Amino acid sequence: MLIFIQENDNPLALKKTLHCLHPFANHFRIVPLSTDIATHIVTYLDQYDEPFFLAFRAGDQIKATFFDMLEQWIIDLPNDFAGVMIDHEENNQFPFLWRTKAVKEVPVNQWGFIPFERYVFHKLHSCLKQNWKWQKVKLGDRLSNSRKDPVWMKRSTEWSFIQPFLSQPNHSVILPKPAIVCSNIICNDKRSASSASISLEKIDLNNSHFTDYYI
């Protein structure tokens, strides 16, 4: 079975997940994704003939009991369900088990080319919700992620702005302006750091040229 791991800016997070998967490496083909994520997903799936694949985030900690349950999840999954996801109060987690046939049915231009690559799987999940259902399961500690982003990244704020865009069935929907993005801010004056981080966060999401701002 194919396993995609979506990388982030912390190489140690990827190593942690790879370490968890090491005992099962003979049974899976593991593919870390860092850039051109959609292109790589499509390329690998074009050559893939198994009915399901897995997708994790770098930093995910997967216990052996997860794989003990995997076969049963697949057997129990109805034919009109695209996969399985965690039944969790956080709504910014993408599914971990995907039906290959369902993913291949969605044109990549509907989900693959969005401003923030770390949300590619979220967008794909949203597109599949139009015609497919999703099974939710309680995992406990079978699959967990203890990674905490630095406060300055403001991931929760970013998610609140980009989630309406991701939930639309077509990627061409335009977000209301302005939209939150994570720009790099280099401040030469410590006293102005706080105000600078607030005033420069709001830029047009449709402008794909993100640069460092010097103050």
CATH-assigned architecture of domain 2-145: Alpha-Beta Complex (3.90)
Tracing tokens 């640069």 back to the chain, one arrives at: 211
Question: Could you give the CA distance from residue 54 to residue 79 in angstroms, rounded to a whole number?
Answer: 17
Nearest-CA neighbor of 6 among 63, 59, 56, 61? Answer: 56
Range 16-33 average pLDDT:
91
Q: Which residues fall within 8 angstroms of residue 19, CB to CB, at 6 or more apart?
A: none
Instruction: With beta carbons less than 8 A apart as the criterion, state whether 17 and 61 touch.
Output: yes
Instruction: With beta carbons less than 8 A apart as the criterion, state whether 185 and 211 touch.
Output: no
| Residue 206 burial (C-beta neighbours within 10 Å; 0-12, 13-18, 19+) | exposed
Range 29-40 average pLDDT:
93
In this prediction, residue 90 carries a pLDDT of 62
Q: Residue 169's Cα: distance from chain center in Å?
A: 17
In this prediction, residue 71 carries a pLDDT of 92
Poorest-pLDDT segment among 119-123, 147-151, 193-197: 193-197
In this prediction, residue 169 carries a pLDDT of 61
Structure confidence at residue 149 as a pLDDT band (50, 70, 90): low
**For residue 80, pLDDT beyond 90:** yes
Greater model confidence, 32 or 188? 32
Residues of the chain with CATH 3.90.550.10: 2-145
Instruction: Tell me what the pLDDT averaged over the chain comes to.
Output: 77
Q: pLDDT for 81-136, tens place per residue?
A: 999 998 875 656 789 999 999 999 999 988 888 878 888 998 999 899 889 999 99
CA dihedral of 108, 109, 110, 115, whole degrees rounded to 10: 110
Poorest-pLDDT segment among 109-113, 137-141, 143-147, 150-154: 150-154
> Which residues face 185 on adjacent strands?
213
